[in-house]
Structure 1
Amino acid sequence: MKDLFKKFLIMNIGQFLYALGITMTINADQGMSPWTVFHQGVGLQLGLTIGQATILVGFVIIIINFIFKEKIGWSTVANMALVGIYIDLLMFNNLVPIFKNIYLSYTMMFMGMFLVGYSTAIYVGVGWGSGPRDGLVSVIKKRTPLSVKTIRSGIESLALVFGYFMGGKVGIGTAVMAISVGFFVNLAFRLANFDITEINHTYLDDTVKTMLRKTA
């Protein structure tokens, strides 16, 4: 139980830091990342906050992943639910500053991207699965000859285009993040000594099977 509680706590810390990183890129006010542009656009169309739209989009993606038999973990569900809640908590309580100075804004944006990468290493490192959007990349990868980089770029490009036409905010920072986010995420992974290929995940179906064996 102690080990389970420790993993649960680490996963939650990772989700909170992930939301903090996203909020920092939003409050940098130089244009948002492609997925955040999409979430804002969905929110504007449905009368939702960015956090609520993040949850809704994540839920829909999980359903798609489930239909295509992609593994779902506790971290997958937590990423869908908690990140949106934490984003709204941070934004509504003005816990992340908005700088008028462009240099400070870009500094915060870069720090936010780094934090997104570092927090991913934290919550994925628990071994309970990854985020819904990573699962969607996996679904497409298994069914097409395309590379992961091409799939991810294609999905984010579509998210950006649809988000823009729904009213999401696009700026120079959007292009900067699209180009540099991979660098900051990889840097965070290296500093955290994190290799995603070495993680052995426990998924929801594994948990159910274990519970059934114990009750049999």
Structure 2
Amino acid sequence: MVKNSMKIFSVKSVPITAWSSKKPLNFSPEPLTIFMLCIGLVLFGLGESLIITAAIGMSPWTVLADGLSVVTELSIGALTFLISLAVLLLWIPLRQKAGIGTILNVVIIAAVIEWSLPYLPHPEEFFLQIFQAIIGTLIVGLSSGLYLTSNLGPGPRDGLMTGFQRVSGLPIALVRVFLEISVITVGWLLGGSIGVATVIFAFGVGPSVSMGLYFFQFFQKNTKD
């Protein structure tokens, strides 16, 4: 059992599945490819919304934007956009490739969050808030594993994760945890606010992404049989 757990959290690549695009910059993907991409991004947005409505802390990258807002006096929304642009620039030395999935990542996730927030539970008991934040983090991680298998280009932060993984050779789970903790640290030092959900996300999203990718590794084997 311990050995299997180690395998789950030691995934180092995004598996190639039956619906994976041959290249990220593909403007005419197969219907199944775009379907899997969109399903993954919709679930990603719902996971983010669950974390938001849990109301016990912001995601690590929002903490960074919050901290920068203290220093620059710009809005968190504007800084979130600027941070995304800065992350995309970091793709250049990492030789990370963008695609239509990179654009749809921003559009679909934002739309789902906007639409779903009024309809999701807003728990008041602390235990339920923690539970909801954990579920939201799991959904974000697992859905990341799903949409990444489409190979149509990752979102800015997921691209940073896969880029650093390729350069370092470390497991995706470890790379993601390192990135999230680094972002939290910088955001906190700048004056950003940290909550329980922030910590849950930082330590949980990397292993969750790895779990999703591990599952599709098995699916990949099944498609070959």
When normalised by structure 2's length, the TM-score is 0.66
Counting matched residue pairs gives 193
How far did residue 27 of structure 1 move? 1.9
- Give the direction of change, closer, same or farther, for the CA distance of 1:2–1:47 in structure 2 (3 Å limit): closer
- Give the direction of change, closer, same or farther, for the CA distance of 1:17–1:84 in structure 2 (3 Å limit): same
- Partners of 2:169 and 2:142 lie apart in 1 by 29
Structure 1 runs (4+) deviating above 6 angstroms are none
> In the TM superposition, what are the counterparts of 1:99-178 in structure 2 within 5 Å?
99-141=123-165, 143=167, 151-178=175-202
How far did residue 116 of structure 1 move? 0.8
- Give the direction of change, closer, same or farther, for the CA distance of 1:152–1:126 in structure 2 (3 Å limit): closer
1:66 matches 2:88: no
Whether the aligned pair in 2 keeps the contact of 1:25 and 1:112 (CA below 8 Å) is yes
- Partners of 1:2 and 1:178 lie apart in 2 by 35
1:22 matches 2:44: no
- Give the direction of change, closer, same or farther, for the CA distance of 1:102–1:70 in structure 2 (3 Å limit): same
- Give the direction of change, closer, same or farther, for the CA distance of 1:43–1:86 in structure 2 (3 Å limit): farther
Render the CA deviation track for 1:140-193: whole Å, top value 9, x for unaligned: 455557665554333222211232345533123333333333444444455xx3
Percent identity between matched residues is 26
Matched residue, 2:217: 195
Secondary structure of 1:84 counterpart: helix
How far did residue 54 of structure 1 move? 4.2
Which stretch of the first structure deviates more once superposed, 148-157 or 97-106? 148-157
State the AA in 1 paired with 2:182: L
- Give the direction of change, closer, same or farther, for the CA distance of 1:178–1:136 in structure 2 (3 Å limit): closer
- Partners of 1:141 and 1:158 lie apart in 2 by 15
Whether the aligned pair in 2 keeps the contact of 1:27 and 1:97 (CA below 8 Å) is yes
Q: Which runs of 5 or more structure 1 residues have no equivalent in the other structure?
A: 199-216
How far did residue 15 of structure 1 move? 1.4
Render the CA deviation track for 1:26-60: whole Å, top value 9, x for unaligned: 221222332232244456742243xx654443233
- Give the direction of change, closer, same or farther, for the CA distance of 1:48–1:86 in structure 2 (3 Å limit): farther
Q: Which runs of 5 or more structure 2 residues have no equivalent in the other structure?
A: 1-26, 221-225
Whether the aligned pair in 2 keeps the contact of 1:54 and 1:84 (CA below 8 Å) is no
- Give the direction of change, closer, same or farther, for the CA distance of 1:53–1:98 in structure 2 (3 Å limit): farther
Matched residue, 1:210: none
State the AA in 1 paired with 2:139: L
State the AA in 1 paired with 2:183: A
- Partners of 2:160 and 2:29 lie apart in 1 by 29
Secondary structure of 2:30 counterpart: helix
Whether the aligned pair in 1 keeps the contact of 2:41 and 2:105 (CA below 8 Å) is yes
Whether the aligned pair in 2 keeps the contact of 1:59 and 1:80 (CA below 8 Å) is no
Render the CA deviation track for 1:110-153: whole Å, top value 9, x for unaligned: 21112112321331222213332232234445555766555433
